[in-house]
């Protein structure tokens, strides 16, 4: 299998490339290396797997991107991960956010469409396309919020309600990817991801919050909780996401043109501090001090993915529980402190 990965030196891209290269597949990485940790991830992949094709391209630059696709025209799969990923950054600079997420995705789709035999395109979207989900009844409990009527979480039939410039740009890209299947017959898949975490994640306060909590705790950096800490997310370990993507690709006859909510599901949902803190305490053996600030724009009090469609269509479900996934993340950070200095 020959796979081109945009954002291939990022967190999800690195884990995916590592899996594919380890299995003997050909991988082409496109990445402008602008994200924190991306150069280190690229070197790590090169040290583990030797030489592979790498193109230092910003996906906003169509001519350079198109040339890279033309240079590797016999592609089987394109995994489009390259993105501006922080809601806060999108609020500060919505133009750049749009150019990377919306225009960049259109550039990828057009570069693929020009190929004689277009490969499968899998795009990682976000649950933020559903907005605040304010039409759902939410109940506040002692340590977490819960849906009154959705025990298994949000399905793909939930109405789209883009919130924040980030939600708008990712949602725009999401719909373009879907429509290129309908209009041009391209084999595309959209994954609306919840919170993905794991090794090789250089999380920061504005993105990759769980990795950031672990990194901050290990390195002694301050942690700020925005809101009351009861906000609930479903957590998915990155290796389970990689398995989901490869499973969806393997069954492309049934998955093309489809959208899937991908996350840890109800069984792997926790509140971002009041239920995460005890797990961190067990890992570190001590309390971790935090401070509190106001809620941030677009922050949902609860989001849980109903992953039953993915299980039905390509037989996937998460395998790594939160306790085990956090242990693996903690061990990686603890054993690689030099990466965070």
Q: What are the residue numbers of the active site? A: 166
* C-alpha count within 13 angstroms, C-beta hemisphere, residue 191: 27
Strands 232-237 and 269-271: antiparallel
* Per-residue burial over 225-264, b = 16 or more CB atoms within 10 Å of its CB, e = otherwise: bbeebbbbbbbbbbbbbbbbbbebbeebeebbbbbbbbbb
Question: What DSSP element (H or E) covers 4?
Answer: strand 2-6
Structure letter (DSSP) for residue 1? -
What is the per-residue DSSP string for 121-134?
A: EEEEEEGGGGTT-T
Beta bridge partners of 125: 192
CB proximity list for 276: less than 8 A, separation 6 or greater? 210, 213, 270
């Amino acid at each position: 299998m020959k796979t081109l990965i945009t954002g291939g030196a990022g967190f999800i891209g690195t884990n995916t490339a590592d899996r594919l290269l380890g299995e003997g597949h050909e991988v082409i990485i496109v990445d402008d290396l602008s994200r924190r940790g991306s150069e280190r991830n690229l070197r790590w992949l090169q040290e583990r797997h030797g030489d592979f094709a790498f193109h230092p391209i910003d996906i906003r630059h169509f001519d350079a991107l198109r040339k890279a696709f033309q240079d590797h025209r016999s592609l089987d799969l394109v995994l489009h991960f390259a993105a501006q990923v922080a809601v806060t950054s999108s609020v500060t600079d919505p133009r750049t956010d749009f150019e990377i997420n919306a225009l960049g995705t259109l550039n990828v789709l057009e570069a693929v469409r020009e190929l004689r035999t277009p490969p499968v395109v899998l795009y990682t979207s976000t649950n933020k396309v559903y907005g605040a989900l304010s039409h759902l009844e939410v109940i506040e409990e002692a340590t977490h919020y819960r849906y009154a009527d959705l025990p298994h979480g949000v399905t793909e039939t939930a109405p789209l309600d883009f919130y924040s410039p980030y939600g708008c740009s990712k949602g725009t890209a999401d719909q373009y990817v879907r429509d290129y299947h309908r209009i041009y017959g391209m084999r595309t898949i959209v994954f609306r991801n919840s919170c993905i975490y794991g090794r090789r994640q250089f999380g920061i306060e504005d993105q990759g919050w769980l990795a950031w909590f672990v990194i901050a705790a290990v390195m002694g950096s301050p942690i700020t909780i925005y809101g009351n800490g009861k906000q609930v997310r479903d957590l998915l370990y990155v290796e389970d996401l990689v398995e989901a993507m490869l499973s969806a690709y393997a069954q492309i006859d049934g998955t093309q043109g489809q959208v899937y909510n991908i996350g840890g599901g109800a069984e792997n949902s926790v509140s971002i501090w009041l239920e995460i803190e005890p797990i961190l305490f067990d890992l570190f053996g001590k309390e971790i001090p935090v401070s509190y600030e106001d809620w941030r724009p677009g922050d949902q009090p609860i989001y849980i993915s109903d992953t039953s469609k993915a299980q039905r269509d390509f037989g996937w479900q998460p395998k790594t529980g939160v306790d085990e996934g956090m242990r693996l993340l903690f061990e990686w950070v603890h054993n690689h402190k030099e990466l965070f200095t």
